[in-house]
Amino acid sequence: EYPIIYRVPLPIPPVKQPKMTVANPVTGKDIWYYELETRLFTQQVYPNLGPATLVGYDGMSPGPTFIVPRGTETVVRIMNNAELETSVHLHGSPSRAPFDGWAPDVTQPGEYKDYYWPNEQSGRMLWYHDHAEGITSLNANSGQAGAYILTDPAEDALGLPSGYGEYDIPLVLTSKHYNQDGTLKSTVGEAKSYWGDVIQVNGQPWPFLAVEPRKYRFRFLNAAVSRSFALYFVRAAAPDGKLPFQVIASDAGLLAAPVPVSDMYVAMAERYEIVFDFSAYAGESLELRNLNKVGGIGTDDDYAHTNQVMRFVVGADPVPDNSTVPARLRDVPFPPSSTGIDHHFRFHRSQGEWRINGVGFADVENRVLAHVPRGTVELWELENASGGWSHPIHVHLVDFRVLDRYGDEANRGVMPYESQGLKDVVWLGRHETVLVEAHYRPWDGVYMFHCHNLIHEDHDMMAAFNVTALDA
Ligand code: C2O
Ligand code: CU
């Protein structure tokens, strides 16, 4: 029933080209102007079933990859030629509030919106995806997500494996569910989770990638609706032994130093970049796998092949490789330290909905749960009080430091690849409580924070915080 495992090559999303460059008279910076269209398309996902109707940016899923140099501003005109309303969030960007994808700020079919993004932060992989109120899971699952890479000269100088699509490859993970006729099962009607039994990388179920026996940089993005991953590599011929690799970056870019691991957690919306060295495996096949039950941290439903992700077919002939992974990657701009917990947020379920401190986003009167004076550093305690469920929590606008994790029976603490860098999503596994610290700047405005299980986000585990102006 799955005639496609490891048979089709990994697609690489094309690079989105700007239409023109203009100078911003206010900031003096270059603006790259783009036009992007959200529209229906069909794709033959299964060779032996009918095609799936999807809705994606420029008619593809994932959407095209933006590659933008740090310090170049972007204006993206996003035309909604789909059937449902949309709102687009650039996840990982300190965008001004009107361009942050505020869920009720929807663009109707037949209309467009121009988004302005500053791109001032350090190099990283961001992603753009739908954020329309109540239908984010539906829109994102139907294809509205893509990678957005911010390049940085400080990073280019390190000598890491490079070349988009060559030795620097985005791996956008999703997990979907198809009907008997090959059409995509929608998320409508799901109140708790949409696990999916088909693992896709860059839109292709269980692809393979032919690689050279050398180092590669892979940029993982978990763009699934509800599935979290615990990833590891094995030899196809000996799937019991996990192979070593190095984590070099997280949501907000490079870590202070590479973290050697043999497996890692990647919850929804998290980005992790790794370097994998294939030089020891010339002529072999390797597989990227996913631990059942996400190693006990998550509660995902597993299916026949959800422990498999993709295959790497390593060339037999030696190749030159002058890329390196330096022992120090950068000085991470951690926020100045603060004292005392400023806010405590409980993520729980009550009266048939997912909520934060008893509030859901539909509760318009009460949904602003924090007022944060601009420029202050705050410590937030995020408590998973929903029993067996797990929640990856995303805070808009800021990069935060994960200071502590407690309360769970697995007692995993903060993973080194979480603490060595800055993040904008942190995974609250079952019964876990996490402490995050962030510098609330650079803009005033009302921003969202929420669970990134998109079913939970839609129903209704999302609230807001207001970064308030300093007194004159
Ligand atoms: Cu990636 Cu508020 O979202
Ligand atoms: Cu959740």
Residue 444, pLDDT above cutoff 90: yes
Q: Which atom of ligand 1 is nearest to the CA of 448?
A: 2
Question: Scanning the structure block, which residue is given the tokens 């294809």?
Answer: 143
Find the 137 Cα to ligand 2 centroid distance in Å: 12
The mean pLDDT value of the chain amounts to 96
Residue 271, pLDDT above cutoff 90: yes
Q: Which atom of ligand 1 is nearest to the CA of 449?
A: 2
Residue 410, pLDDT above cutoff 90: no
State if residue 401 touches ligand 1 by the CB under 6 angstroms criterion.
Answer: no
Q: How far is CA 289 from CA 207, 236, 247, in A?
A: 12, 10, 16
Share of the chain above pLDDT 90, in %: 93
pLDDT tens-digit profile of 425-434? 999 999 999 9
State if residue 131 touches ligand 1 by the CB under 6 angstroms criterion.
Answer: yes
CB–CB of 14/61 below 8 Å?
no
State if residue 291 touches ligand 1 by the CB under 6 angstroms criterion.
Answer: no
CA-proximal residue: ligand 1, atom 1 (nearest): 91
How large is the average pLDDT for residues 297-301? 89
Q: Which of 25-29, 69-73, 200-204 has the lowest mean pLDDT?
A: 25-29
Identity of residue 117: W
pLDDT tens-digit profile of 120-155? 999 999 999 999 999 999 999 999 999 999 999 999
pTM above 0.90, yes or no: yes
* Selection from 273, 52, 284 nearest residue 171 by Cα: 273
Question: Scanning the structure block, which residue is given the tokens 């949409």?
Answer: 194
Q: Which ligand is nearest to the CA of 93?
A: 1
How large is the average pLDDT for residues 327-339? 95
Find the 426 Cα to ligand 2 centroid distance in Å: 11
In our burial notation (b when 16+ CB lie closer than 10 A, e otherwise), range 10-44 reads bbebeebebeeeeeeeeeeeebbebebbbbeeebe
Q: Which residues contact 238 (CB under 8 A, 6 or more apart)?
A: none
Q: Which atom of ligand 1 is nearest to the CA of 129?
A: 1
State if residue 39 touches ligand 1 by the CB under 6 angstroms criterion.
Answer: no
Find the 424 Cα to ligand 1 centroid distance in Å: 9
Find the 79 Cα to ligand 1 centroid distance in Å: 20
How large is the average pLDDT for residues 195-204? 97
Residue 295's pLDDT is 83
Cα radius of gyration rounded to whole Å, the chain: 21
Q: Which of 272-286, 288-302, 387-401, 414-428 has the lowest mean pLDDT?
A: 288-302
Residue 472, pLDDT above cutoff 60: no
Q: Which of 48-52, 379-383, 399-403, 459-463 has the lowest mean pLDDT?
A: 48-52
Q: d(Cα 416, Cα 428) in Å, to the nearest integer? A: 16
pLDDT confidence band for 299 (50 / 70 / 90): confident
Up-side HSE of residue 64: CA atoms within 13 Å toward CB?
18
State if residue 456 touches ligand 1 by the CB under 6 angstroms criterion.
Answer: no
pLDDT confidence band for 1 (50 / 70 / 90): low
Residue 471's pLDDT is 64
Taking residue 383's Cβ as centre, other Cβ atoms within 10 Å add up to: 18
Find the 365 Cα to ligand 2 centroid distance in Å: 22
State if residue 91 touches ligand 1 by the CB under 6 angstroms criterion.
Answer: yes
**331: which 2 tokens?**
């000085």
Residue 98, pLDDT above cutoff 70: yes
How large is the average pLDDT for residues 62-76? 98
Find the 378 Cα to ligand 2 centroid distance in Å: 23
Q: Which atom of ligand 1 is nearest to the CA of 462?
A: 2
pLDDT tens-digit profile of 147-189? 999 999 999 999 999 999 999 999 999 999 999 999 999 999 9
Chain-centroid distance of CA 22 in Å reads: 30
CB–CB of 19/33 below 8 Å?
yes
How large is the average pLDDT for residues 261-269? 98
* Selection from 245, 235, 129, 137 nearest residue 185 by Cα: 137
Residue 193, pLDDT above cutoff 70: yes
Q: Which residues contact 471 (CB under 8 A, 6 or more apart)?
A: none
CA-proximal residue: ligand 1, atom 3 (nearest): 91
Q: Which atom of ligand 1 is nearest to the CA of 450?
A: 2
State if residue 269 touches ligand 1 by the CB under 6 angstroms criterion.
Answer: yes
Residue 298's pLDDT is 85
State if residue 129 touches ligand 1 by the CB under 6 angstroms criterion.
Answer: yes
Question: Scanning the structure block, which residue is given the tokens 């690079």?
Answer: 15
**408: which 2 tokens?**
């769970």
pLDDT confidence band for 294 (50 / 70 / 90): confident
Q: Which atom of ligand 1 is nearest to the CA of 101?
A: 2
